[in-house]
Structure 1
Amino acid sequence: MLSYFTSNLSNTVLNKKFLGLSSLVRNFHGDHAKDFLPDKIELPDVSRVIAVSSCKGGVGKSTVATNLAVSLGQLNLRVGLLDLDIYGPSIPTLLGTTEKGIGVSEDKKFLPIEKHGILSLSIGNMIEQTKGLIWRGPLVSGAVKQLLTDTFWGKLDYLVLDLPPGTGDTQITLAQSLKIDASLIVTTPQRLALADVIRGVEMFKTVEVPVAGIVENMSWFQCPNCNTKHNFMGGDAQSVKDLAAKIGVNRLAQLPYVPEIAVSSDRGVPVSAQIENPFAKPYFQLANNVIEAVSQIKKK
């Protein structure tokens, strides 16, 4: 598996790092799996770790994670964004870093890419964009741990983790091996998506990761001609708010569907990096709400 991955890497040192991972990955098989996660990872230079999750794909989780990170950076905070969606890394596209490779420091640490005022790291910057990773769960867990332990971020106020959708290996690995200060669950108001939100909240509670709140994405589309709001994703204006109240979490934001945001994302320019753009405002509100929610969690 790793030979397939490393064959796409041009950096010799990077090749050696991931070849070295193979010996660790072998420990995952059979009865040895539990031996690989004995201790919590320490990130002493990171003040806050925020996990952005979704229980269903296609709800805009990576777009929210990216714009949240950039918004926090625009608030003069030192921010890192770690793409842990190993099978479908979107961060390089969203930040416009698809042509950039990952460097390695003298002490063999991955060096994140700086753009739009934040640092980012993604496995998508280590493989060809047209290549897919055909990895089983243990290999993914090993890669996640190495991205966490072998990256030099410097001092960060916030490290934002873009998790894959669902409640699988990555989430479990993180909960077992890293102290996460808070999690966000991104959803649309569609009833089908909301059913999975409940599962996601229960998963985070089970692994003792605080849920800071729900982010309602693509809440509505506002017609540019008549200014009428349309709930095109299903549900209604109260559906997410009512669910949040029922399961005891906060709704931190309602983000509209705006075609310009999708276009901007495809160009690698997050809307939150454009301070004067009116569509950036909801993300700045989200960033402030996240700061407040995490602060309240830390007081408990």
Structure 2
Amino acid sequence: MSENCNHDCSSCGESCKDRDPKSMLQAPHEMSSIKNVIAVVSGKGGVGKSLVTSLLASSMQKKGYHSAVIDADITGPSIPKAFGIHEKAYANEMGLIPVKSRGGIDVMSINLLLDNDTDPVLWRGPIIAGAVSQFWTDVIWENVDYMFVDMPPGTGDVPLTVFQSLPLKGIIVVTSPQELVSVIVEKAVKMAEMMNIPVLGIVENMSYFECPDCKSKHSIFGESHIDEIAARHGIASVSKLPIDPAIASACDKGEIEAVDAPWLAELSASLEKNCN
């Protein structure tokens, strides 16, 4: 069986290399309407992927578009906390209904289905990937202009499932300045290239610290390498987020929608231009 195939080729005589990759796309719920699906990925954990997802969804919502977020990090969901969502999702006779943030962003996360937010999800990879697929097929997403999928780190079951089964317009790669992370970023970018999915931009989180007094910038975690990586792979949009305690505080308080993100303005404009 090929990684690009969802069946045992030896049992049916088909050749994976001759199959149309689009044939693996899953249809959303019949009542859903979704224009643009963008996955936010990282090569490793702890680089701020969920933060970037939340800020991008908020940025597009503030521009007048309807944003939505699928929290595909099943074992480490953090999107509901960032948006200050405490109520649970519910189902009617037609399907699952996402929860709206205070700013009107539709959100679906495993934490919105658990009895307690701190309950661990002890599932193996294929089950986790199946749950993410159900967030796409069983949830009613109404009139969504931009859906952001907050992915778990790495290149395992869930990223592969999302890459193969959702109609992605592209991915956004989130990283941090360390040299080791830059190597891992290359893996995420190359995975997207292998799956023929465009990389819409790279966001470097914790890129620098700006002194509040003298306004000088300091590279706390080392010099940035993302410009070189972006140039190597022909990626036009590069954004650099500073270390800012106010952003971390907003996430902890569930007030991410109150944060202005001028560092992502160019990327947001690029999504607006190229994805509609």
Q: TM-score, normalised by structure 1?
A: 0.80
| Contact kept? 2:40, 2:174, Cα under 8 Å | yes
Aligned length: 254
Deviation at 1:205, TM superposition (A): 1.3
**What is the aligned partner in structure 1 of residue 146 from structure 2?**
158
Stretch deviating more after TM superposition (48-57 or 169-178): 169-178
Deviation at 1:254, TM superposition (A): 1.3
Deviation at 1:215, TM superposition (A): 1.0
**What is the aligned partner in structure 1 of residue 33 from structure 2?**
45
Q: What one-letter code is carried by the residue in structure 1 that aligns with 2:59?
A: S
Deviation at 1:286, TM superposition (A): 3.0
Pick closer, same or farther for the CA change 1:39–1:244 going to 2, 3 Å: closer
Deviation at 1:141, TM superposition (A): 1.4
**In 1, Cα distance between equivalents of 2:62 and 2:137:** 26
| Contact kept? 1:222, 1:229, Cα under 8 Å | yes
Pick closer, same or farther for the CA change 1:290–1:257 going to 2, 3 Å: farther
CA RMSD of aligned residues (A): 2.0
| Contact kept? 2:237, 2:266, Cα under 8 Å | no
Matched, 1:259 2:240: no
Q: What one-letter code is carried by the residue in structure 1 that aligns with 2:145?
A: D
Matched, 1:136 2:136: no
Aligned to 1:282, which of 263, 269, 273? 263
Q: Write out per-residue CA displacement over residues 62-87 of structure 1, whole angstroms, 9 at most, x where no aligned residue.
A: 00001100110010001111100011
Aligned to 2:7, which of 34, 40, 64? 34
Whichever structure has more helix as a proportion of its residues is 1
**What is the aligned partner in structure 2 of residue 84 from structure 1?**
72
Aligned to 1:101, which of 69, 88, 94? 88
Deviation at 1:57, TM superposition (A): 0.8
2:57 partner SS: helix
Deviation at 1:168, TM superposition (A): 0.5
Matched, 1:117 2:90: no
Unaligned runs of 5+ in 2: 1-5, 9-20
Stretch deviating more after TM superposition (116-125 or 77-86): 116-125
Percent identity between the two aligned chains: 37
**In 2, Cα distance between equivalents of 1:191 and 1:200:** 15
Unaligned runs of 5+ in 1: 1-32, 296-300
The residue correspondences of 1:1-300 to structure 2 (distance < 5 A) are 34=7, 39-43=24-28, 45-97=33-85, 99-107=86-94, 109-115=95-101, 116-127=103-114, 128-236=116-224, 239-270=225-256, 273-274=257-258, 279-294=260-275
Q: What one-letter code is carried by the residue in structure 2 that aligns with 1:264?
A: A
**In 2, Cα distance between equivalents of 1:227 and 1:175:** 41
**In 1, Cα distance between equivalents of 2:142 and 2:275:** 21
**In 2, Cα distance between equivalents of 1:264 and 1:192:** 28
Pick closer, same or farther for the CA change 1:131–1:204 going to 2, 3 Å: same
1:181 partner SS: strand
**In 2, Cα distance between equivalents of 1:241 and 1:287:** 18
| Contact kept? 1:89, 1:124, Cα under 8 Å | yes
Deviation at 1:263, TM superposition (A): 0.3
2:106 partner SS: strand
Q: What one-letter code is carried by the residue in structure 2 that aligns with 1:266?
A: D
**What is the aligned partner in structure 1 of residue 15 from structure 2?**
none
